[in-house]
Amino acid sequence: MGTVGAFMRRVALLLTCLTMGFAPAMAAPCPGNPNALGTARTITVEQTAFPRIGTVQYRNTLPLNDREVVITFDDGPLPPYTTRVLDALARECVQATFFLVGRMATAHPELVRRIYNAGHVIGTHSQNHPLTFDQMELPRVEREVTAGIASVQAAAGNPKAVAPFFRIPGLARTRQVEAYLASKSLSVWSADEVADDWFRDVTASDIVRKAIERIEGRGRGVLLLHDIHPATAMAVPVLLRELKKRGFKVVHAIPAGERPRSVPELDTPVADSGSWPRVVKASAPAVAQTATLPRLPAARPDAARSPLTTRTTTVSAARKQSYPTGTTTSHTTNRRTATAAPSRTQTVVQRRTWTTSWPRQTRYSYWR
Ligand SMILES: [Zn+2]
């Protein structure tokens, strides 16, 4: 009788799950990784039910159970960091949501398609990532939003591959902006937890610590990360293992309606095909877990105008670090620009030697 009772309970639970529109937690095994974090279940996000998401700014968020997280990434795609993040997610069979910047997508369409074909959801994050959505006239907001969507759709090769999910750059919301986004049937995504991974000088271990502290604090939530930063790329594999260790489950939030199964792939440009950082000689195992990334050199007043030049900065006598050829940073009160030129350089981190290759000139700016 006990067995039959247990069976009936399982059937009842399954029916409850189905009637509530949730897929039951039946994660498929992860090839090559029996201990993978995995993706426990999927929830469908309709704009009418979820016009605004994330307790950092709103009263409402996704209907997550205790110890459930939704993982989101902003500002990409940018090789080689997005590539590293995708590798880490694939190893753990975790599905995430990527809010892509239009001009980044135009520059790296092959990565946009890789993100989609790996089963992740693609939302948008404006065309140029201006940090003044709360100050701009509405026509400019409209241009940023629609151009961003058009660029990401074109890069994806199929407009239906792009979800009606939008994250406002810098989370600079206003009622007017939200009303406009609602009129376009876009769900506005804020977050429940951030990990401060856009801060200057943040390390991978800082990101993991802050993310875990804040997720543990709320017990669940939508986590916001940025796949364009080296420290975040380093943090993600560690963070996923830490979530698994603590019994968290990943939920994948998908848009309503039909989506293409896949989009045609594009060849990866030769310059981008190398992984980063490639370990050429490691003095101890578990490199990714313990490594600290080199900090970017301090801002110089003329950095924004200076031509790309070779630049090596010694951080301390005890720990020598070098930076990729052409790395410059400029820093004003709320914005930093980093520029990297094609180069190869050696980086020594905690007595381990890595070859770090910067695939080609990339330029991005972000707020802090
Ligand atoms: Zn952003």
pLDDT digits (tens, 9 = 90+) for 175-193: 999 999 999 999 999 999 9
Cα of 21 to ligand 1 centre, how many Å?
A: 31
Mean pLDDT of 70-84: 95
Cα of 254 to ligand 1 centre, how many Å?
A: 20
pTM of the model: 0.71
pLDDT at position 281 is 33
Percent of the chain with pLDDT over 90: 63
pLDDT bin (cut points 50, 70, 90) of residue 101 is very high
Cα of 303 to ligand 1 centre, how many Å?
A: 22
Cα of 283 to ligand 1 centre, how many Å?
A: 36
Cα of 126 to ligand 1 centre, how many Å?
A: 9
With a cut of 60, say whether residue 338 has pLDDT above it: no
Q: 51 is written with which tokens?
A: 């016009």
Q: 204 is written with which tokens?
A: 């991978």
With a cut of 60, say whether residue 312 has pLDDT above it: no
With a cut of 60, say whether residue 346 has pLDDT above it: no
H or E segment and range at residue 336:
strand 335-340
**Domain range summary for the chain, segments of one domain joined by +:** 39-255, 273-367
Cα of 190 to ligand 1 centre, how many Å?
A: 11
Cα of 319 to ligand 1 centre, how many Å?
A: 32
Name residues whose C-beta falls within 8 Å of residue 165's C-beta, 6 or more positions apart in sequence. 45, 97, 99, 121, 123, 124, 186, 187, 189, 255
Rounded to a whole number of angstroms, the distance between the first and last alpha carbons of the chain is 61
| Nearest-angstrom CA–CA distance, 142 and 148 | 10
Cα of 74 to ligand 1 centre, how many Å?
A: 5
pLDDT at position 29 is 86
Peptide bond preceding 277 in cis form (omega within 30 of 0): yes
Report how many helices (DSSP H) and strands (DSSP E) the chain contains, helices first.
9, 16
- Collapsing DSSP to helix, strand or coil, 343 comes out as strand
Three-state SS letters, 72-108: EEECCCCCCHHHHHHHHHHHCCCCCEEEECHHHHHHC
Kind of pairing between the strands at 352-358 and 249-255: unpaired
| Nearest-angstrom CA–CA distance, 127 and 247 | 37
Q: 57 is written with which tokens?
A: 């700014």
With a cut of 70, say whether residue 305 has pLDDT above it: no
pLDDT bin (cut points 50, 70, 90) of residue 171 is very high
Name residues whose C-beta falls within 8 Å of residue 273's C-beta, 6 or more positions apart in sequence. none
Cα of 367 to ligand 1 centre, how many Å?
A: 8
Taken in order 207, 82, 255, 183, the sign of the CA dihedral is positive
| Nearest-angstrom CA–CA distance, 295 and 2 | 60
Cα of 145 to ligand 1 centre, how many Å?
A: 13
Cα of 169 to ligand 1 centre, how many Å?
A: 5
Name the residues around ion ligand 1, CB cutoff 5 A.
74-75, 169
Cα of 110 to ligand 1 centre, how many Å?
A: 20
CA 168 to chain centre: 15
pLDDT digits (tens, 9 = 90+) for 198-235: 998 899 999 999 999 999 999 999 999 999 999 999 99
Cα of 277 to ligand 1 centre, how many Å?
A: 24
Cα of 75 to ligand 1 centre, how many Å?
A: 5
pLDDT at position 268 is 78
Residue reference for tokens 């290759």:
357
Cα of 366 to ligand 1 centre, how many Å?
A: 7
Q: 247 is written with which tokens?
A: 């019994």
pLDDT at position 271 is 59
- Collapsing DSSP to helix, strand or coil, 68 comes out as strand
pLDDT at position 357 is 33
Cα of 27 to ligand 1 centre, how many Å?
A: 31
Cα of 224 to ligand 1 centre, how many Å?
A: 10
**DSSP 8-state symbol, 262:** -
Cα of 337 to ligand 1 centre, how many Å?
A: 13
Mean pLDDT of 281-296: 35
More confident residue, 222 or 28: 222
Cα of 23 to ligand 1 centre, how many Å?
A: 31
Cα of 128 to ligand 1 centre, how many Å?
A: 10
pLDDT bin (cut points 50, 70, 90) of residue 274 is low
Q: How many residues does the chain have?
A: 368
CB atoms within 10 A of CB 192: 23
Cα of 100 to ligand 1 centre, how many Å?
A: 9
pLDDT at position 56 is 95
Mean pLDDT of 13-30: 52
With a cut of 60, say whether residue 349 has pLDDT above it: no
Q: 120 is written with which tokens?
A: 């992740």
pLDDT bin (cut points 50, 70, 90) of residue 269 is confident
Cα of 68 to ligand 1 centre, how many Å?
A: 24
pLDDT at position 70 is 98
Cα of 327 to ligand 1 centre, how many Å?
A: 21
Q: 327 is written with which tokens?
A: 């790395």
| Nearest-angstrom CA–CA distance, 348 and 314 | 11
Amino acid at 16: T
Cα of 170 to ligand 1 centre, how many Å?
A: 6
pLDDT at position 118 is 98
Task: Starting at the earlier edge strand, list the strands of the sheet with 362-367.
Answer: 328-331, 335-340, 362-367
CATH number, domain 39-255: 3.20.20.370
With a cut of 50, say whether residue 317 has pLDDT above it: no
More confident residue, 229 or 28: 229
